[in-house]
Amino acid sequence: VSALVALQSCQCLAWEPRPIVSWGAESQHVVAGYSDGTIRVFSISRTEMELKMHPHAVALTAIAYSTDGEMILSGGKDGLVAVSSPHTGMTIHVLAEHKGSPITVLQCTRKQYRDFGVEGGELWLATSSDRRVSVWASDWLKDKCELLDWLSFPAPAGPEGLGSLPPSLAAFCPWEPGTLVYVGFGMQKEALFYSLRKKQVVEKISLPYFATSLSLSPAARFMAVGFSEQLLRLLRCPTSNAQDYAGHDDAIHLCRFAPSGRRLLTASHSAVLVWELTGS
C-alpha cells in the first residue's frame, strides 16, 4: 500500500462492513482517504488496490462505509461530503451543507423505515469543526437522502489559552436508539446526549477537560473519552461512573471500541495502546 501511494498521506480509513462470516473471507476491503482528495479501496486478502476515485479537490478528513457497504461517504477539508459507489467508482451525491468547515466525523447506522416518519434504511451523520452536526435518512439504492436534523452547538467567542480548538465529535448511541452523543469546544466541558425524537439535549455528563476523541461501545453502556491532557476516561452510562487511566504521553486523538466491546484501542502521536475491559 505504501508503495502505491508514496507521494500522498493517508488521512482516514474505514473497514467495509460485512455480515458475521468466517474471518479472512475474500470480500474484506478497507477504504482510505488521502491528502490529494482521492479515495482508494484495497482488498485485504489480495493486498492490492482495487479502485481509485477522486471525488474531492482537497484533502479528505473523514470517511465511512454505508451500513450495507454499498456506498462510501467521504468528507473533505472544505466541508463537502461526497457519496460514491465502490462498485462503479461514480460519485452520486455531493452535499454542501457543511461547506467551509472541515468534516470531522462521518458515521452510519441502521434504522427502520418508520423510526422518524421518513423514508430510508439508514441513518447517518456528518460533523464539522464549526460545531455543527447534520443527521440524514437515506436509501441509496432509491436515490433518496433527506435531512432529518441540523444541530449547532454554541461556544464562547475568542477562546484564550487554546492553540487550536478541540475537535467537534458526534456518534450515534448504540444503547439509546434515536440518540447521538456530542463533544467539542463549548460553553462547558461536557458530553451531550441529544434525542432526535425530542429534538433536545436529554442528558449532560461533565468532563474534566475538552475531549479530543470519543467512542461508544456497541456491546455495553460504556463511553470512552480521550483528552489532550494524556488522560483516558471510561464512563459507564447512564450512571456516569468514571474511571481514569494514564498511559499515553501525548494527546489521545483516537479511541475505538472493538465490535465485541471487550477491547478498546487508543492512539496518540507516539503510541497505540489496546485496553482489555474486564468484569462487568
Q: Which letter does DSSP use for residue 74 in this model?
A: E
The pLDDT tens digits for 102-132 are: 999 999 998 765 677 777 789 999 999 999 9
Distance CA 115, CA 125 (A): 16
Whether residue 180 has pLDDT greater than 80: yes
Nearest to 106 by CA among 12, 185, 243: 12
pLDDT reported for residue 159: 59
Question: Hey, what long-range contacts does 105-109 have (CB within 8 A, 24 or more apart)?
Answer: 105/62, 105/168, 105/169, 105/170, 105/171, 106/62, 106/63, 106/64, 106/73, 106/74, 106/75, 106/81, 107/64, 107/170, 107/171, 107/172, 108/64, 108/65, 108/66, 108/67, 108/73, 109/67, 109/172
Q: What is the grid cell recorded at 217? A: 461501545
Q: Which letter does DSSP use for residue 184 in this model?
A: S
Terminal CA-CA length for the chain:
40
What is the per-residue burial (b if ≥16 Cβ within 10 Å, else e) of 60-69?
bbbbbbbbeb
Distance CA 272, CA 181 (A): 24
Whether residue 141 has pLDDT greater than 90: no
pLDDT reported for residue 6: 55
Residue-averaged pLDDT of the chain:
89
The pLDDT tens digits for 232-268 are: 999 998 877 899 999 899 999 999 999 889 999 999 9
Report CA-CA distances (Å) from 6 to 89, 239, 244: 22, 47, 39
pTM: 0.91
Distance CA 224, CA 255 (A): 7
Is residue 235 within 8 Å of residue 223, measured between CB atoms?
yes
Nearest to 182 by CA among 197, 200, 164, 198: 200
Is residue 98 within 8 Å of residue 151, measured between CB atoms?
no
Cβ atoms < 10 Å from Cβ of 182: 24
Q: Determine the average pLDDT of the residues in 228-232.
A: 95
pLDDT reported for residue 275: 95
The pLDDT tens digits for 185-206 are: 999 999 999 999 999 999 999 9
pLDDT reported for residue 132: 97
